[in-house]
Chains A and B, each alone.
Chain A
Amino acid sequence: MRVERLVPLALPRGQKLQCELCRGPAGLRCGACCVTYYCEVEHQKADWDSIHEKICQLLIPLRTPLPFYNSDKERNHGLEQQLSREKHLVELTHRVAQKFLFEGKHKEAIPAALHSLRFSIHIYGLNSVELVPPYLILAEASIGLGHLTQAEEYLSQAQWTVLKTSHCSDAIQSKLHRNLGLLYAAKGNFEESLYHLANDIYFASCAFGTNNISSSGGYYHMANVFFRQNKMDIADSLYSEATDIWHSYFSGLIDVQLQTIMSPSEIDILCLPALRFHSMELNTIFIPSADESQQAEASQILNAILDIREHASRQQPMKTGKVVHALAMLHYLILDIPKAHELAMKALLIISYLQKQDSAEAIQQLINLIKSKPFYAK
């Protein structure tokens, strides 16, 4: 991470170099790629931590002049390559920003989102609907950091773009309304917030169905608003709904694994130490199909709900058990085996008090699956 200091005066006349993040006059240059400039060390560090480490080398072809091409065909080919590189960067930065958001690292999300925005503007123009996702991430990050006016600005942009676009997809509208809902909730305007979150759930259901994991976020945030309004029964019902959605999604994934790979009796046999190495080859097939942002979202929601349930004045063991079970399945699917085991045992303990046979069986199967992993150390 070499950093080189620049002397702005030494640059050719008229060429002004701007900081990557704040667009102020640049005094530093990244030593690795030599095409990225920063005003001060803080911005350089922030950008590096957030996104620059991942895209440093990828920026070079985009920021250096194009090579000389001999024919029209080569020129077109070159342009196409540039375009595809830019699109790839847009996606990459977007994903990274999203992940940061779900992990709660709002500050780190902003540089990544800004990159995503700038590249999108470059590719698609200022008024296109593709700009909406980066605006939404920026807005969410700003809300997380407490910069509400900034967030409102970004969201107005996004909303205006959506209104102007006639064929905007339901998924994007859903995300837009979720952010609007979060903004109003942060401002304390609960009625508006609920209206927008209702829109979020409606569009998500139109796009994916009522029981999809995309709607779970909407339910969770709505529950939070009702919680803050002290309408506990509604909040409780919504938390349960969000939990149920994730629970059934994970159960489905685990069932698929159980059926395609082995029968439950084989799993029991696999618990024996001698056969643990056999399952290692099968490990490669156990790749979780949920992508990283979904994982992060699930983790955020389920942990928050668990927290609330554990601190509730009136304990509901059945529901708490379900949350713990869902979390255990999540950790198993992302191959965090020790944590999965710990959570699964906790879930089993809670459920066994209640004498619900089928839930207990499901948890037991999960525990057997976990124990069959070679990482599991007694």
Chain B
Amino acid sequence: MKLLGKILCKECVSNKYYVRCFKANHHNLHYRNSYKKNTCIDMLRQGYHKSFSELFTLIQKWNALREAAGPGSAIWLQTSLEEQPDKLDQLHHFLTRAEAAQRAEHYEDMYNHQLNLAYCFNNPEDKWLRNYFYEQCHRTAKQIKIDGGKKEAESHANLGLVYEEQGQLMKAAEHYEAFHQLTVGRMWRDERGQSHNLLACEHLWRIYTLLADKMLENNEHQQAIKTLIKAFEMAKKGNLNIYIEISTALCDSVGLGKAYQAIAKVLVSQEKVTEAIKYLEKFVDIAKSAHHSRSLVNACTFLGNIYNERVSIRFRNYAMFANALTDLPLVDETKAYYGIAKAHNMMVAVNSHTEAVDHVTIEYLLAWKENRSDMCTDPFTVDTASLPGPWPNLCDLPGAPSRRSPE
């Protein structure tokens, strides 16, 4: 149908214009008919019966939604689809082309037309229409084999976004996983040049984090742990710009930090200390690289506590790291922790010496009691070289009390 310019509608009360001029013979009849009827008949006359069925069903669906919502709801006051000529036009334009493509089995074209329709309806009022066309795209994409599944993958990503928006996280996760699976190992890129695979990893990481949040709210710790593991793996695989991404994530989703802590607590309560320690270490690494001091402090403190309580031999004094930062309110606390840690550290040595009841060790013990040295230089003491990082001087910290013996 050629666009013959706009014609003033004689019937329509709101002075809307007919955008398309229908066949000349039926002008009088067409002015008597509604725009919807003219569009439908136009479609059918040209043989596009599937487009007609789809349009008809969509209009009926809208009416049913409105009926179900009842008077007083938001949808009650909206104008019906059948009374919006421009939307009807767009539907006519793309649906007919999609059907022609379908007949000729050019599924790629069909997909593109349906995708265009989805983009057309990307406003808050027509969300249901947009989602409907995303579903249609997905169905079409499954039949496109020539491009090796690229369109199918894209359609999965679109559907994932739709479900995420609606809050159906599990379904969104399913689609993102499918997206990821299809894009693994492929070098596809989208219009902005971003690799599909990285996009998949990013989506999955985000959705897993959201899922884990929800699980934590429901106290499903185990599930949350598993989901966060997956999230972390995705983040790694995506080679995401970890510094920026995760720091933004840590800023945005404080949940991540809390989640890690929560995982660790749960694991500790379940006596799986080594795993807990692993997670906390991971978290510390991230926090360190993102220079996120607060979380770092939290993480280090927590780790330190664990180590304190467990008195493990391979002792790492994470409280030291906290001291490296200038988080003043916590300095005293961390100093106390540091002290405890040091004490524990020495306890190992002292105990071993006490047990070894021979003359030399007793000499050393007495010497230590005299001057309270660190026994760092003593070969019997713990190997400090294995301890990470430089040991900052406590005296150098602001507000530090002077110590009797130097470090």
**Bind each other:** yes
Q: Number of contact residues on A: which range applies?
A: 20 to 34
Q: Are A237 and B50 in contact (CB under 8 A)?
A: yes
Q: Mark A182-207, 1 if CB is under 8 A from B, else 0.
A: 00000000011011011101100100
Residue A234 at the B interface, CB < 8 A?
yes
Query: Is A233 among interface residues, defined by CB-CB distance under 8 A?
Result: yes
The secondary-structure label for the interface of chain A is helix
Other than the given A195-B23, A237-B49, 11 more pairs (CB < 8 A) read A197-B44, A198-B40, A198-B44, A201-B44, A202-B37, A202-B52, A205-B56, A210-B56, A234-B103, A237-B47, A237-B103
Which are the 5 A-B pairs with shortest beta-carbon distances?
Answer: A198-B44, A234-B47, A210-B53, A198-B41, A198-B45
User: Taking CB as reference atom, which chain A residue is nearest B104?
Assistant: A233
Which of B23, B47, B57 is the one whose CB lies under 8 Å from A231?
B47
CA distance A205 to B52 in the complex (A): 10
- B-chain residues with CB within 8 Å of residue A241 when the two chains form the complex: 49-50
Query: Shortest CB–CB separation between residue A1 and chain B, in angstroms?
Result: 48
B57 near A194 (CB under 8 angstroms)?
no
Which residues of B, 98-139, contact A by the 8 Å Cβ criterion?
103-104
Q: Is A246 an interface residue (CB 8 A)?
A: no
Chain B residues whose CB sits within 8 angstroms of the CB of A195 once the complex forms: 23, 26, 41, 45
Interface string of B15-28 (1 = CB under 8 A from A): 00000000101100
Asked if B49 and A219 sit within 8 Å, CB to CB, the answer is yes
A329 at the interface (CB under 8 A from B): no
A226: B residues at CB distance < 8 A: 47
Contact A202-B103, Cβ < 8 Å, known A195-B26, A210-B53, A219-B49: no
Determine whether A222 belongs to the interface, using a CB cutoff of 8 Å to chain B: yes
Question: Known contacts A210-B57, A233-B103, A234-B103: does B47 contact A202 (CB below 8 Å)?
Answer: no
Q: Could you tell me the distance between the alpha carbons of A233 and B50 in the complex, rounded to whole angstroms?
A: 13
Within 8 A of A (CB), among B47-63: 47, 49-50, 52-53, 56-57
A198 to B41, CA, bound (A): 5
Task: Give complex CA distance A28, B312 in Å.
Answer: 123
Residue in A closest to B36 when the chains form the complex, CB atoms: A202
Which B residues have a C-beta under 8 Å from some C-beta of A? 23, 25-26, 37, 40-45, 47, 49-50, 52-53, 56-57, 103-104
Chain B residues near A233 (CB, 8 Å)? Answer: 103-104
15 A-B pairs within 8 Å (CB atoms) are namely A194-B47, A197-B44, A198-B41, A202-B37, A202-B44, A205-B52, A205-B56, A210-B56, A210-B57, A222-B47, A233-B103, A233-B104, A237-B47, A238-B49, A241-B49
In the complex, the answer to whether B49 meets A202 with C-beta atoms within 8 Å is no
Task: Kindly state the separation between the CA atoms of A180 and B45 in the bound complex, as whole angstroms.
Answer: 14
On A, residues with C-beta under 8 Å from B are: 191-192, 194-195, 197-199, 201-202, 205, 210-211, 219, 222, 226, 231, 233-234, 237-238, 241
| Cross-interface CB contact of A201 among B42, B52, B57, B103, cutoff 8 Å | B52
Taking a contact as CB atoms closer than 8 A, the residue among A202, A219, A231 that contacts B41 in the complex is A202
Residues A238 and B41 in contact in the complex (CB < 8 Å), given A195-B26, A210-B57, A233-B104: no
Distance (Å) between the CB of B61 and the closest chain A CB? Answer: 12
B-side contacts of A219, CB under 8 Å: 49
Report B36 CB to chain A, min CB distance, Å. 10
Q: Which residue of B lies closest to A242 (CB)?
A: B49
Q: Which residues of B contact A231 (CB under 8 A)?
A: 47
Kindly list chain A residues whose C-beta atoms are within 8 Å of the C-beta of B23: 191, 195
Which B-chain residue is minimally distant from A200 (CB atoms)? B44
Which residues of chain A have C-beta atoms less than 8 A from B40's C-beta?
Answer: 198, 202
CB distance from B313 to the nearest CB of A (A): 64
- Tell me how far the C-beta of B194 lies from the nearest C-beta in chain A, rounded to whole angstroms: 39
A339 CA to B47 CA in the complex, in Å? 34
Taking the closest CB of chain B, its distance from the CB of A87, in whole angstroms, is 33
A190, chain B: closest CB distance, angstroms: 10
CA distance A197 to B26 in the complex (A): 14
- With both beta carbons as reference points, the residue of chain B lying nearest to A194 in the complex is identified as B45
A199 to B45, CA, bound (A): 9
Q: Which of A191, A198, A219 has the most CB of B within 10 A?
A: A198
A211 surroundings in chain B (CB, below 8 A):
53
**Hey, which chain A residues are within 8 Å of B37, CB to CB?**
202
- CB nearest neighbor in B for A236: B103
Question: How long is the Cα–Cα vector from A241 to B40 in the complex, in angstroms?
Answer: 17
Measured between beta carbons, the chain B residues less than 8 angstroms from A238 are 47, 49
Nearest residue, chain B, Cβ from A226: B47
| Distance to closest chain B CB from A222 (angstroms) | 7
Q: How far is the CA of A337 from the CA of B365 in the complex (A)?
A: 108
CB of A51 to closest CB in B, whole Å: 36
Q: Which residue of A lies closest to B102 (CB)?
A: A237
Nearest CB to that of A219 among chain B residues?
A: B49
- Greatest chain B CB density within 10 A among A192, A199, A241 is at A199
Chain A residues whose C-beta falls within 8 Å of the C-beta of B44 in the assembled complex: 194, 197-198, 201-202, 222
